[in-house]
Structure 1
Amino acid sequence: MSDILSSAYPWIKGLHIMSVISWMAALFYLPRLMVHHTERVGLSGETHEIFAMMEYKLAKVIMQPAMMATWVFGLLLVATPGIVYWGDVWPWLKGAGVIAMTVFHIWLMRRMRGFQNGENSTTGKQYRIMNEVPTLLMILIVFSVTVKF
């Protein structure tokens, strides 16, 4: 198995990077949709239905599969011999960042379901603040992997 992973490493790494890009794009855009949904649209009417549909499709068609692919390809990279030395700090920081990103993803999914049900208790300002979370986590993750401290 390790021979297969080693020979497929560049392909797995490429697929991992593409998955991360897709996941991050959705994590950046969904809270922005929710800001506008909260501040401009409200929780009823035709525009609400359009926003709820856009949020649902972004979350279920792009964000969820991209997260799953990111995890699968990332775990395959971790399982590839010689890629990760667990005595270093960076894989633990990256792992913590990815877990935190997944928690943020779950939080967004819950907010999306709330909009689907005509419920929302989060303000536009709170969504704006939360929109910075993936950026901060991305910085941690990217520098962990590239600097390898």
Structure 2
Amino acid sequence: MADYLTGYYLWIKALHIIFVMSWMAGMLYLPRLYVYHAQSKPGSELSETLKIMERRLLRGIINPAMIASFIFGGLLLMVPGVLVSPLGWLHVKLLFVLLLSAYHGFLARWRKDFERDQNQRSHTFYRMINEIPAVFMIIIVIMVVIKPF
């Protein structure tokens, strides 16, 4: 199987990058919707519209993109010659991917709070947490491209 993957390495890598970009786009946009939702009155037309947008973004784009990112990332790790020592950069990358996945879980949980009109957080909170995926993305890209250790 590993030798088979070698022939498709560039395709696997391209698809991994495409799905990571899609995942990140959603992860950056969803908290922005939460900012507007936290400022809207529960039950209002705006609130109900945002609920639909948030659900579709999470279920239709963010979740599938994350799953595809994991699949193609896992396939990349299986291609012979991709992993060469030292691998400290990979451990840091995977740690931040894990943290990004946890953040994803929090976003999904907060969407359910909005869906039930039970949000307890301010728009300022969502503005601040909106920066988290960008910081994680910067660290991950530096690890993959620069491989500092």
TM-score between both structures, scaled by the size of structure 1: 0.96
5 Å matches for 1:24-39? 24-39=24-39
Counterpart for residue 12 of structure 1? 12
How do 1:121-132 residues align onto structure 2 when only pairs under 5 Å count? 121-132=120-131
Aligned pairs for 1:1-149 within 5 A: 1-39=1-39, 41-85=40-84, 87-149=86-148
Number of aligned residues: 148
Moved more, 110-119 or 57-66: 110-119
- Could you give the per-residue CA deviations for residues 72-131 of structure 1, whole angstroms, max 9, x where no partner exists? 100110111111235321000110111111011110000111111111011111111100
Please state how far the C-alpha of 1:55 moved relative to its aligned partner.
Answer: 0.5
Distance 2:106 2:63 in 1: 12
Task: Identify unmatched segments of 5+ residues in structure 1.
Answer: none
The one-letter amino acid paired with 1:22 is S
**Displacement after TM superposition at 1:44 (Å):** 1.4
Three-state SS of the structure 2 residue aligned to 1:120 is: coil
Unaligned runs of 5+ in 2: none
The RMSD of aligned alpha carbons is 1.0
Runs (4+) of structure 1 exceeding 3 A deviation are: none
Q: Taking structure 2 as the reference length, what is the TM-score of the superposition?
A: 0.96
- 110-119 or 139-148: which moved more? 110-119
